Amino acid sequence: MASLQDQLLKAGLADKSKAKQVRTEKRKKQKQKNKQKVEQVDEATVAARQAIEEKKAKDRALNEAQQQEREKRSIAAQVKQLISINIQKRGKDETVLNFPHDNVIKRMHVSNEIHKQVTKGKLVVVKFEDGYELIPTPVADKIAQRDEASIVYRADIQAATEETTSEEEDWYADYQIPDDLTW
């Protein structure tokens, strides 16, 4: 089927120059329209991209949480293994070892030799499963790097904190007390 323009030319109602002029004007208008045309944003594609980005962010957060949980379980397993391998025997129940844990004084029956080692800082009390165990100080240092909460009592650190508090309390020792005070 021929276009309307061709039909008008055959019928003699329009001439070739007029038809050519109309075509060029039409082409110029189309070019201007294309130049001025602002890119139309398809809302569906924008929503789809946004949904994809949200899903990626959610997946990243979930992966990070899972990784932290795996790392936490790994550290707990390492601590448990270090303690179970290095548990020291308590000896005969000759002496009571008192130590603080969560603002409560706990007791452990040990031999005199073990009690001396704990008070000198050679052995450390750690929380293990449902009770308390004794392990060597170097192993306790490794455990403290992984999980500080597992260490219950260290005599060497306890002694250091007591020394600093006694120095703080003796600030008045430099002052001379007058002899003529009467109470």
- Min mean pLDDT across 37-41, 65-69, 132-136 is at 37-41
Write out the chain in H/E/C secondary structure: CCCHHHHHHHHCCCCHHHHHHHHHHHHHHHHHHHHHCCCCCCHHHHHHHHHHHHHHHHHHHHHHHHHHHHHHHHHHHHHHHHHHHCCECCCCCCEEEEEEECCEEEEEEECHHHHHHHHHCCEEEEEECCEEEEEEHHHHHHHHHHCHHHEEECHHHHHHHHHHHHHHHHHHHHCCCCCCCCC
Of all residues in the chain, what percent carry a pLDDT higher than 70? 83
pTM of the full predicted structure?
0.55
Kindly report, residue by residue over 80-114, the tens digit of the pLDDT: 998 899 988 888 878 898 988 888 899 889 999 99
Let me know if 75 is exposed, middle or buried by CB neighbors in 10 A (0-12, 13-18, 19+).
Answer: middle
Query: Whole-number mean pLDDT of the chain?
Result: 83
Kindly report, residue by residue over 141-164, the tens digit of the pLDDT: 999 898 888 898 888 765 555 555
Q: What is the mean pLDDT of residues 20-32?
A: 88
The answer, yes or no, to whether residue 167 has pLDDT greater than 70, is: no
Residue indicated by tokens 């795996």: 70
- Domain boundaries in the chain? 84-168
Residue-level pLDDT at 45? 85
